[in-house]
C-alpha cells in the first residue's frame, strides 16, 4: 500500500510508503563510481548519482524510491496479483530482474523520454536479489521535467502509460484507476449548489462541504481519487520551503493511520515514512517517519557523489517536540 505524487512543473516528487513492518530502510546516496552489476546486462561502472530510500542488501542499495542528479525520479509501489515476471530471459530483449530497474533507469536516464526508450526494451525476469530475498510484486512511476509515466509488468509484457495525473497507488491497474475518476466529475472544492431539490431549501450547515463525495477509506482506488483531487486543486506558496511543506500536507491526505487497516495477519498497515525529493537543484531528500512528525532533510553533495562508497543516513524517529515556556 503506497501513494506516489509527481509535480514535474515544480521539480517535486515523493511518496508515502505504507507497510506493516520496517525493511531496514535508510536514506542512501549512491555515488557515480559505485559499481552496479546485473544478471543479464553489463555492469555499470559509472552512472548518475542516486539519492533515495533503500534497503542495503549485501552492500547493494535496493531502492524503494530515488532521484538521480539529473532530476529523474522513480518509485516502486506494491502491485500484488497483477505484477508478472517471466521465468526465463528473452532473446533480443533487455533482460532485467525487477530490482535492477532502479540502477539501470536512474543510472543512465536523464529524462522520461530516455527512460521510456529503455523500458520499451525491458523483459522482466523473476530473479530475486539473492536467496532469502522476496520477489516483490511492483509497478513503477517514473517522472522528470518532461512528464510522468507508469510501468506495469503484466502477463503480456511491460505496459507503459502516460500519467497526466502524476499519481500512482496500487491495484487495480493504472487504466482502471484513470477510468474510475470519471465517477467523480462533480466533486469540487467549492460548496455544492442544491441540485438535489432546487425547489426546497437545503441548508449548508458548516464549512468543509467542498470535496463532498470524495472516498475516505484507505483502499488504493480511494487513495488514487483523493490524491488526484488534492493534487489538481493544490495551492502552493511562492517560497520553496512552503512548497515542500504543502507537498507533505498532500501526502498526509492519503496517509494510513495506525489502527485504520488491519492485515489478514493481524498487523497494522501504516505510513512508515513520507518523503519529498526536491530536484530543482542538486537533489535534497526530505522525509518524516510515522514516529516523528518533523521533516528532516538529507542533501546531495558533490563530494559524496564523486566518491566510491555509499553514504547512508538512518531515518530519525524521535518525536522531536520543541517546548516553549510562557512568561
Query: Using one digit for the tens of pLDDT, what is the confidence trace for 134-187?
Result: 899 999 999 999 999 999 999 999 999 999 999 999 999 999 999 999 999 999
Give the integer Cα–Cα distance in Å for 61 and 33: 14
CATH number at residue 308: 3.60.60.10
> Is residue 98 in a domain?
yes
> Is residue 327 in a domain?
no
Domain count, the chain: 1
Distance of CA 322 to the CA centre of its chain: 30
pTM of the prediction? 0.95
Query: Using one digit for the tens of pLDDT, what is the confidence trace for 60-76?
Result: 999 999 999 999 999 99
Active centre residues (catalytic)? 2
What domain range is 186 assigned to? 2-191+210-313
Q: Stretch 312-318: mean pLDDT, rounded?
A: 88
Give the residue carrying C-alpha cell 500512482. Answer: 168
> Is residue 245 in a domain?
yes
> Is residue 121 in a domain?
yes
> Is residue 322 in a domain?
no
> Is residue 319 in a domain?
no
φ, ψ at 236 (rounded to 5°): -105, 140
Q: Distances in Å between the alpha carbon of 237 and those of 88, 120, 247?
A: 50, 38, 11
Query: Using one digit for the tens of pLDDT, what is the confidence trace for 203-247?
Result: 888 777 888 899 999 999 999 999 999 999 999 999 999 999 999
> Is residue 196 in a domain?
no
More confident position, 250 or 130: 250
> Is residue 200 in a domain?
no
Amino acid at each position: 500500500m503506497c501513494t506516489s505524487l509527481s509535480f514535474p512543473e515544480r521539480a517535486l516528487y515523493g511518496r508515502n510508503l505504507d507497510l506493516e513492518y520496517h525493511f531496514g530502510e535508510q536514506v542512501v546516496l549512491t555515488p557515480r563510481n559505485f559499481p552496479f552489476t546485473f544478471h543479464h546486462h553489463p555492469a555499470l561502472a559509472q552512472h548518475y548519482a542516486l539519492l533515495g530510500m533503500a534497503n542495503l542488501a549485501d552492500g547493494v542499495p535496493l531502492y524503494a524510491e530515488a532521484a538521480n542528479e539529473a532530476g529523474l525520479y522513480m518509485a516502486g509501489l506494491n502491485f500484488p496479483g497483477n505484477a508478472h515476471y517471466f521465468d526465463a530471459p528473452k532473446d533480443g530483449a533487455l533482460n532485467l530482474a525487477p530490482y535492477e530497474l532502479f540502477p539501470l533507469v536512474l543510472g543512465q536516464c536523464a529524462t522520461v523520454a530516455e527512460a521510456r526508450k529503455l523500458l520499451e526494451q525491458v523483459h522482466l525476469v523473476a530473479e530475486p536479489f539473492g536467496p532469502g530475498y522476496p520477489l516483490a510484486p511492483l509497478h513503477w512511476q517514473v517522472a522528470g521535467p518532461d512528464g510522468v509515466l507508469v510501468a506495469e509488468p503484466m502477463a503480456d509484457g511491460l505496459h507503459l502509460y502516460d500519467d497526466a495525473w502524476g499519481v500512482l497507488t496500487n491495484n487495480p491497474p493504472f487504466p482502471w484507476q484513470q477510468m474510475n475518476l470519471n465517477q467523480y466529475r462533480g466533486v469540487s472544492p467549492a460548496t455544492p449548489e442544491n441540485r438535489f431539490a432546487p425547489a426546497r431549501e437545503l441548508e449548508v450547515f458548516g464549512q468543509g462541504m467542498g470535496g463532498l463525495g470524495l472516498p475516505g477509506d484507505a483502499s488504493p482506488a480511494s487513495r488514487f481519487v483523493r490524491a488526484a483531487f488534492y493534487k489538481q486543486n493544490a495551492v502552493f506558496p511562492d517560497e520553496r520551503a512552503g512548497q515542500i511543506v504543502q507537498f507533505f500536507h498532500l501526502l498526509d491526505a492519503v496517509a494510513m493511520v495506525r489502527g485504520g487497516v488491519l492485515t489478514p495477519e493481524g498487523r497494522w498497515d501504516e505510513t512508515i515514512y513520507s518523503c519529498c525529493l526536491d530536484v530543482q537543484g542538486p537533489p535534497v531528500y526530505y522525509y518524516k517517519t510515522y514516529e516523528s512528525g518533523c521533516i528532516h532533510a538529507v542533501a546531495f553533495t558533490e563530494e559524496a557523489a564523486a566518491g566510491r562508497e555509499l553514504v547512508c543516513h538512518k531515518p530519525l524517529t524521535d518525536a522531536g517536540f520543541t517546548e516553549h515556556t510562557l512568561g
